[in-house]
Amino acid sequence: IKVKIPFGNKYLDAIFSVPEKKSTYGVILTHGAGGDMNFPHLVSLSAYLASHGVLCLRFTCKGLNIVYRTKAFKAVVEYLKLSDDYKLSGVFLAGRSMGSRAAASVIRHLSQEDDDDFIQGLICLSYPLHRPKLQSKLRDEDLLFIGCPVLFVSGSADEMCEKQLLEGVASKMKAPKKIHWIDKANHGMAVKGRTTDDVMEEINAQVFSWLRENIELEHK
């Protein structure tokens, strides 16, 4: 279902992937610095989650400014929170590359502003922890302040997220966290000798099983 989400004086294009049964939880998903919400990985994940009973809202926000992207993500969270069509108990924020940085930033800002637990967790696909070959400057400031559960899905050969560095940051995080490494995958999740669909199946299954664990924990 295509929707337009108000953002300042314009609108963000977004698409709902709706499960057959009413969903209690949703995932908001956005893309990296290039591309848009129709990036194949996002389309694949949205369809997978909806077919397993999780509502997914993916949106496009062009722009390479992280502050701007964060504001847009926040507008989408507010939109879904106030939606009468989909009354959700909570959402997980998810993004690919720069989109996951924006998601982390939104969670940090919202946790400082209000205490409600609408946001249940963060899913980072190919989190860009540093620029290629610039390992000395880590983009970890938001991650260290987040309290909700976090899932990282990263390629072990990602040139923007060196394995030891992400593991080091994760060890300092106070949030419950999990890292799933896609063996030999680069930042774009390409792996020599494996098809895109095959890699996506692994990612989608990981995301869903982590979501299920965290939703079950909420209800125990």
Strand arrangement of the beta sheet that strand 119-125 belongs to? 2-7, 10-17, 55-59, 25-30, 90-96, 119-125, 150-155, 177-182
Mean pLDDT confidence for 104-128: 87
The CA distance from 120 to 161, in Å, is 24
The CA distance from 55 to 198, in Å, is 23
Mean pLDDT confidence for 134-160: 93
Of 5, 142, 16, 27, the residue nearest 75 (C-alpha): 5
Q: Which amino acid is at 54?
A: V
The CA distance from 192 to 164, in Å, is 22
Question: What is the per-residue pLDDT for 219?
Answer: 53
Question: What is the per-residue pLDDT for 27?
Answer: 96
Number of H helices, E strands in the chain: 6, 8
Q: Tell whether the model's pLDDT for residue 3 goes beyond 80.
A: yes
Residue with tokens 């995080």: 173
Question: What is the per-residue pLDDT for 82?
Answer: 87
Question: What is the per-residue pLDDT for 103?
Answer: 96
Q: Tell whether the model's pLDDT for residue 218 goes beyond 70.
A: no
Which residues lie below 8 Å from residue 18, measured CB to CB, with a gap of 6+?
Answer: 1, 50, 55, 86
User: φ and ψ at 4, to 5 degrees?
Assistant: -115, 125
Task: Give the model's confidence band at 220: pLDDT under 50 very low, under 70 low, under 90 confident, else very high.
Answer: very low
Question: What is the per-residue pLDDT for 215?
Answer: 84
Cβ pair 139, 161 in contact under 8 A: no
Question: How far apart, in Å, are the Cα atoms of 10 and each of 57, 61, 90?
Answer: 18, 11, 26
The CA distance from 207 to 42, in Å, is 12
**CATH 3.40.50.720, domain 2-219, yes or no:** no
215 vs 49, which has greater pLDDT? 49
Q: Give residue 76's Cα distance to chain centre.
A: 13
The CA distance from 50 to 86, in Å, is 13
Which tokens is 85 given? Answer: 């069509």
Q: Tell whether the model's pLDDT for residue 210 goes beyond 50.
A: yes
